[in-house]
């Protein structure tokens, strides 16, 4: 066989190793017969390709180097010799005329400015005159026949050593060898002659059908070349590869036959598309692409719909993702052809493929501002500049999203709308059709086909990440989406409750969770804004959207019959009608039946679903989901993430933490003997643990409230409910501390004469007042006039506040005087009935009594019996019950009352309860996913090479950074996804979390691979993930078998393209239902790639979990565990038993010694003897008491006591 770089007869078995890059111009025989398709030369005037470097045809290069030829001979040579020598063609470049059009290739480094770059261009094929048509046809037939019969007869013997070559190649080896088999295969193929000369259409179709089978075998051979056998070392690229384009001369000519050979033509189009949508080992040269694009252009515009359907079916989904030079020239043709397929009424048309092609183009208009493409209105080669590509694509997709009769195709159309909305929001184009796209997605939520409705719900879930950009586009759009979700749930709930299909209920649950995501994404002030639905025009009260959210959740919990009461009716779809949103936009029904069940997977089929259990689970599905949403909103709305970070949603505190009576690090039976702990059940839905712990030392208020005096113990309440586990510490607050430290005892002393008072006693300030004598009675009279308002600061101790106030009022307001000129503080004259003498007698008697009392005090003051004992301030006492403050708090909350007995119960203390609590705490309170991420470098074809990658390209690292934020595994408190905190699985890894979802990414380049054990552990973690994200920079497609694993049901493969976009390949097992937003063949911008891939991976994980029989979501599982614990461990007891257990949860335990004094007992301490005496009375139970308790139990068991 001839080497690849031989300038003679080209070899069909070309070597990709000889290509310097993917843009290498092919030297194979596929180009030898291009002249066969130049029969209509005027079509190719001014038509050329403009890649990196220009080349010329062999006819042009031979003009200056070979002997002179006649004009006819040169023309024939131009028809029959189009082989391009990649080594010498650059020396013979000729300038193209200014009128030549340029095909903008997607391989351009700057696609937007590709038309402005200065590049060398390839001349278009020579124009042929009509006088030589007959001779050209003869040359075409001969050339086609000869191209298949090429044999390496002109090989020089010096090219191959004689000892390692067959006799046919000039060597000495006999028998069957690779080159012998190749030549024989070529000759056998050539025996067929020109297959397009077969007159019988049926035989012609059979031949081309076999050629398709033959090509499939060649493709399989190529796929199996260069594959690692031991999956440890990637082999070097194969020296020889099958000639996958060897049949193109026959195929190209077959497309030009008459309609009589329609079936053969369809096979030819099919094989052409299959050949060119593969990754090319050696890029086809410009002349080949010129003819290929011309055939595709004519085929896509053909009047025969079958031809259009064949091209659309077999070019999808990878045509635009391969980056063929000039592929964007066919964008308008494909848009028009896909629109024709979507508009047809035949269900067997390639509808999904058409939507995939349209969806792969939604990001192109923002990349190519002005796109050069072939005009779709004429089969001639007319290149035009198009600026309305975006409008045409979106118009077609919108029409398909509303009218597409195929379910899978409509799902792809809705996903394309979601991708396009995100693309426009990121680029801030403020495109007017975003409103219409949102309208179609929202209207699809109530679509009868539940798969389509689920996909629409997933699109709204994805748009939550762009809520801020959506508000910039239209500020009321998020609130409108929430109202649509409320109205849709209200519309679907009655029929869903009566339905027996699980998919109906799962749809409402998905809508509830989507409503929760949107509610959590908006700030509280936005949710509290009043809205005015159309139905509430008569209702003058303004209600917020949060009010309507709780109304619809209330209906989901207690049933749709609540909506019959207008007080609890949220809103209807008709209430949302406006200029921007039409809730009743017409959506055509599907014309294919909806499958009720997905096929069972290999793993799910091992477990047969139980119909009765499944039916029982479905009954309360919506109610449990609604209660979960309510609890989540109550606990987390407005303050997520909290100070603990997004990974911390619920408390990590357990009953054994800070417990002075428990030394174990985990829950153990020792807790049941603790006198400071009791377990309760509230409302048959919530587990409550009350534990009394010590207050933090050296902190005012025990750390709970700075600057306040509190008790020396705190009460910790641990609550376990449907939404998670929460821990609250509380303390009883006495008040602010004294201003001057602790208060000192105050000594009260009787008044003594001035000479007997203590010398240290301070004398009162001097105070003078005038005295006046009236009728022998000396009366004091205030001489000072009060002209200022008396206050506590200005009044002296010996002054009377009332007297001063009356004097001030009389002076400042004389109109208030009762007697003119007499101040208000002067007593009124004595009554008329009392004579002045009688009054003086009374006063003198009082003065005499006062004198005698003073004399008695002075005489007997030193007597002991006259002195009273000093009363000291009581010393603060510390309660000696280890459950005292818990009991006090429960009493304050009303839990010890009769009214709460039916809703507040004790739990039975046993080891089974501890196991149930540990199991409940181990369950996640959010939806969790673990997703593997691989990096495949160029040339890596084996497991060992991929797993040993410790880093990737910059584009890969940017992508991984967009999936989530890096978390330190050693102190990460959220979902671990099986990774270890001991650094054996790496130090950091990307992690993403919302209030309802946690995603842990197992990134292969983050895990250590320095030993065989590390590789084994890495493969175990990565291989056990059901969803794999593969970033491949290899020139070949990623193979599923490279990473051997039983899992990996869904593979999302990302291929970077040369125009800074990314092609998506999705490989999933057949039983996996549809998921979005990305689909196989999607092409997205790098700005939205991480969020799109993450959303697709999460939806893929959900789709896989839906296949598991009897699978329960996290909230269903948690509700079931709570219900099981309450049913098996609730302790129905009488009020007396309940009160005794609250008073003393466990007996015969003393309080542990304090490590330090508490703030309230620093001044004094209780004597140890007193503590011992009181503690002896606090805890031990005397035999009499125990006997009394037993007799009470006997009386209760006999029915004398009321039992709840």
pLDDT at 283: 87
pLDDT at residue 301 above 60?
yes
Q: 895 versus 536: which is more confidently predicted?
A: 895
CA 1044 to chain centre: 28
Is-contact 996 926, C-beta < 8 A?
yes
pLDDT at residue 1170 above 50?
no
Per-domain residue ranges of the chain? 430-591+620-637, 925-1111
Encode 572-603 in three state secondary structure. Answer: CHHHHCCCCCCCCCCCCCCCCCCCCCCCCCCC
Is-contact 150 29, C-beta < 8 A?
yes
Of 580-584, 688-692, 1149-1153, minimum mean pLDDT range: 1149-1153
The end-to-end CA distance of the chain, in Å, is: 96
pLDDT at residue 780 above 90?
no
pLDDT at 1152: 53
pLDDT in tens, 932-978: 999 999 999 899 999 999 999 999 999 999 999 999 999 999 999 99
Coil, strand or helix at 277: coil
Angle at 963 between CA 959 and CA 966, to 5 degrees: 100
Residue 166 DSSP one-character state: B
447-469 mean pLDDT: 95
Pairing of strands 101-103, 47-49: parallel
pLDDT at residue 1202 above 70?
no
In whole angstroms, how large is the CA radius of gyration of the chain?
46
φ, ψ at 1157 (rounded to 5°)? -70, 150
| CATH code matching the domain that covers 925-1111, chosen among 3.40.50.11210, 3.40.50.920, 3.40.50.300, 3.90.180.10 | 3.40.50.11210
How many residues in total does the chain contain?
A: 1204
pLDDT at residue 986 above 50?
yes
pLDDT in tens, 996-1031: 999 999 999 999 988 888 899 999 999 999 999 999
Is-contact 521 477, C-beta < 8 A?
no
pLDDT in tens, 912-926: 999 999 999 988 899
pLDDT at residue 857 above 80?
yes
pTM to 2 decimal places: 0.75
759-780 mean pLDDT: 42
Identify any residues that bridge with 780 across adjacent strands, giving them in sequence order.
771
pLDDT at 1085: 94
pLDDT at residue 424 above 90?
yes
Q: 70 versus 353: which is more confidently predicted?
A: 353
Give me the helices (H) in 1033-1088, please: none
The DSSP secondary structure of 832-878, one letter per residue, reads TTS-HHHHHHHHHHHHHHHHHHHHHHHHHTT-GGGPPPP-PPPPP--
How far apart CA 732 and CA 260 sit, in angstroms, is 97
pLDDT in tens, 37-56: 333 433 334 344 443 333 33
pLDDT at residue 568 above 50?
yes
pLDDT at 738: 66
pLDDT at residue 317 above 70?
yes
Neighbouring C-beta atoms of residue 894, cutoff 10 Å: 10
pLDDT at residue 1176 above 70?
no
pLDDT at residue 769 above 80?
no
pLDDT at 196: 93
Q: Indicate the average pLDDT of the chain.
A: 78
Identify any residues that bridge with 544 across adjacent strands, giving them in sequence order.
530
CB proximity list for 517: less than 8 A, separation 6 or greater? 461, 464, 994, 996
Residue 991 DSSP one-character state: E
How far apart CA 170 and CA 152 sit, in angstroms, is 10
pLDDT at 88: 29
Contacts 24+ apart (CB under 8 A), 845-851: none
Is-contact 356 317, C-beta < 8 A?
yes
CB proximity list for 1051: less than 8 A, separation 6 or greater? 1028, 1030, 1038, 1040, 1065, 1066, 1067, 1068
How far apart CA 1024 and CA 1020 sit, in angstroms, is 6
438-460 mean pLDDT: 95
pLDDT in tens, 1055-1108: 999 888 999 999 999 999 999 899 999 999 999 999 999 999 999 999 999 999
Q: Is the peptide bond before 344 cis (omega within 30 degrees of 0)?
A: no
């Amino acid at each position: 066989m001839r080497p690849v770089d031989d300038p003679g007869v080209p070899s069909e078995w070309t070597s990709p190793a000889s290509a310097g890059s993917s843009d290498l111009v092919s030297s194979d025989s596929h180009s030898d017969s291009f002249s066969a398709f130049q029969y209509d030369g005027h079509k190719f005037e001014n038509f050329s390709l403009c890649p990196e470097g220009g080349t010329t045809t062999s006819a042009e290069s031979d003009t200056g180097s070979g002997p002179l030829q006649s004009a006819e001979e040169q023309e024939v040579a131009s028809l029959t010799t189009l082989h391009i020598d990649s080594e010498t063609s650059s020396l013979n470049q000729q300038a193209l005329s200014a009128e030549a059009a340029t095909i903008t290739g997607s391989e351009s480094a700057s696609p937007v400015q590709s038309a402005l770059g200065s590049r060398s261009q390839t001349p278009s094929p020579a124009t042929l005159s009509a006088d030589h048509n007959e001779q050209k046809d003869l040359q075409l037939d001969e050339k086609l026949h000869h191209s298949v019969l090429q044999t390496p007869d002109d090989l020089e013997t010096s090219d191959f050593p004689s000892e390692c070559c067959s006799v046919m190649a000039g060597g000495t080896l006999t028998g069957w060898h690779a080159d012998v088999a190749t030549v024989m295969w070529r000759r056998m193929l050539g025996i067929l002659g020109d297959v397009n000369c077969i007159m019988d259409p049926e035989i012609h179709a059979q031949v081309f059908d076999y050629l398709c089978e033959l090509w499939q075998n060649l493709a399989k051979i190529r796929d199996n070349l260069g594959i690692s056998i031991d999956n440890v070392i990637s082999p070097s690229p194969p020296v020889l590869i099958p000639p996958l384009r060897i049949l193109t001369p026959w195929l190209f000519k077959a497309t030009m036959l008459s309609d009589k050979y329609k079936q053969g033509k369809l096979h030819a189009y099919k094989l052409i598309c299959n050949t060119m949508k593969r990754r090319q080992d050696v890029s086809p040269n410009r002349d080949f692409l010129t003819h290929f694009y011309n055939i595709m252009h004519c085929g896509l515009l053909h009047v025969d719909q079958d031809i259009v359907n064949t091209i659309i079916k077999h070019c999808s989904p990878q045509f635009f993702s391969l980056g063929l030079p000039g592929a964007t020239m066919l964008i308008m043709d494909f848009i028009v052809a896909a629109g024709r397929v979507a508009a047809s009424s035949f269900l067997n048309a390639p509808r999904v493929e058409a939507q995939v092609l349209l969806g792969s183009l939604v990001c192109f208009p923002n990349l190519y501002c002005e796109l050069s493409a072939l005009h779709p209105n004429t089969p001639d080669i007319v290149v035009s500049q198009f600026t309305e590509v975006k409008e045409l694509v979106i118009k077609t997709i919108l029409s398909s999203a509303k009218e597409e009769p195929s379910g899978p195709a409509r799902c792809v159309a809705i996903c394309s709308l979601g991708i396009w909305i995100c693309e426009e929001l990121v680029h801030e184009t403020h495109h007017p059709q975003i409103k219409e796209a949102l309208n179609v997605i929202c209207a699809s939520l109530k679509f009868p086909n539940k798969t389509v409705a689920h996909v629409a719900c997933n699109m709204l879930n994805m748009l939550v990440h762009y809520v801020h950009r959506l508000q910039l586009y239209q500020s009321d759009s998020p609130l409108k989406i929430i109202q649509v979700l409320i109205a849709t749930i209200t519309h679907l709930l009655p029929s869903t409750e009566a339905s027996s299909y699980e998919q109906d209920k799962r749809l409402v649950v998905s809508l509830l969770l989507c409503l929760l995501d949107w509610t959590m994404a908006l700030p509280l002030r936005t949710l509290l804004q009043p809205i005015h639905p159309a139905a509430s025009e008569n209702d003058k009260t303004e209600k917020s959207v949060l009010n309507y959210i709780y109304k619809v959740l209330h209906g989901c919990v207690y049933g749709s019959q609540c909506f019959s009461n207008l007080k609890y009716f949220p809103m209807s779809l008709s209430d949302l009608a406006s200029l921007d949103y039409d809730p009743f936009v017409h959506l055509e029904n599907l014309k294919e039946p909806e499958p009720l069940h997905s096929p069972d997977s290999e793993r799910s089929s091992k477990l047969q679903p139980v119909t009765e259990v499944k039916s029982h689970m479905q009954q309360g599905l919506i109610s449990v989901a609604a209660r979960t949403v309510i609890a989540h909103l109550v606990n987390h709305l407005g303050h997520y993430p909290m100070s603990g970070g997004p990974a911390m949603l619920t408390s990590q505190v357990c009953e054994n933490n800070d417990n002075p009576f428990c030394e174990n690090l985990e829950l153990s039976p020792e807790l049941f003997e603790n006198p400071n702990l009791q377990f309760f059940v509230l409302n048959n839905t919530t587990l409550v643990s009350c534990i009394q712990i010590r207050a933090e030392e050296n902190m005012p208020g025990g750390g709970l409230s700075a600057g306040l005096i509190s008790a020396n113990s705190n009460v910790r309440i641990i609550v376990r409910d449907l939404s998670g586990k929460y821990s609250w510490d509380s303390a009883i607050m006495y008040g602010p501390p004294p201003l001057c430290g602790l208060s000192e005892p105050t000594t009260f002393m009787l008044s003594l004469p001035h000479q007997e008072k203590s010398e240290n006693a301070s004398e009162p300030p001097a105070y003078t007042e005038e005295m006046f004598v009236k009728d022998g009675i000396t009366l004091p009279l205030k001489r000072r006039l009060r002209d200022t308002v008396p206050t506590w600061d200005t009044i002296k101790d010996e002054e009377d506040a009332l007297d001063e106030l009356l004097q001030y009022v009389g002076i400042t307001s004389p109109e208030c005087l009762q007697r003119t000129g007499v101040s208000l503080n002067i007593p009124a004259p004595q009554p008329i009935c009392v004579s002045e003498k009688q009054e003086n007698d009374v006063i003198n008697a009082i003065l005499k009594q006062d004198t005698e009392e003073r004399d008695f005090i002075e005489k007997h003051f030193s007597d002991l019996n006259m002195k009273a004992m000093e009363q000291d301030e009581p010393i603060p006492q510390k309660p000696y019950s280890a459950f005292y403050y818990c009991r006090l708090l429960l009493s304050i909350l009303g839990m010890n009352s009769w009214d709460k007995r039916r809703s507040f119960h004790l739990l039975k203390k046993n080891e089974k309860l501890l196991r149930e609590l540990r199991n409940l705490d181990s369950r996640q309170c959010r939806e969790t996913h673990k997703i593997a991420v691989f990096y495949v470098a160029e040339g890596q074809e084996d497991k060992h090479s991929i797993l040993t990658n410790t880093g990737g390209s910059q584009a890969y690292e940017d992508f991984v950074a967009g999936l989530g934020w890096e978390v330190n595994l050693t102190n990460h408190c959220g979902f671990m996804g099986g990774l270890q905190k001991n650094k054996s699985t790496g130090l950091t890894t990307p992690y993403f979390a919302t209030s309802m979802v946690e995603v842990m990414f197992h990134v292969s380049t983050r895990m250590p691979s320095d030993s065989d054990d590390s590789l084994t552990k890495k493969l175990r973690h990565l291989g056990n993930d059901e969803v794999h994200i593969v970033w491949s920079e290899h020139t070949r497609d990623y193979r599923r078998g490279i990473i051997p694993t039983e899992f990996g049901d869904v593979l999302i493969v990302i291929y970077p393209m040369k125009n800074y976009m990314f092609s998506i390949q999705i490989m999933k097992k057949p039983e996996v239902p549809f998921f979005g937003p990305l689909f196989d063949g999607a092409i997205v911008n790098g700005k939205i790639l991480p969020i799109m891939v993450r959303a697709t991976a999460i939806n893929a994980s959900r789709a896989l979990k839906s296949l598991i029989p009897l699978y329960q979501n996290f909230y269903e599982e948690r509700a079931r565990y709570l219900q099981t614990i309450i049913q098996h461990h609730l302790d129905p007891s009488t009020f007396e038993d309940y009160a005794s257990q609250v008073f003393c949860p466990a007996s015969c335990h003393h309080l542990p010694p304090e490590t330090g004094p508490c703030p309230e007992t620093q001044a004094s301490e209780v004597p140890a003897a007193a503590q011992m005496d009181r503690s002896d009375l606090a805890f031990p139970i005397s035999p009499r008491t125990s006997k009394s308790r037993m007799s009470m139990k006997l009386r209760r068991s006999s029915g004398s006591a009321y039992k709840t």
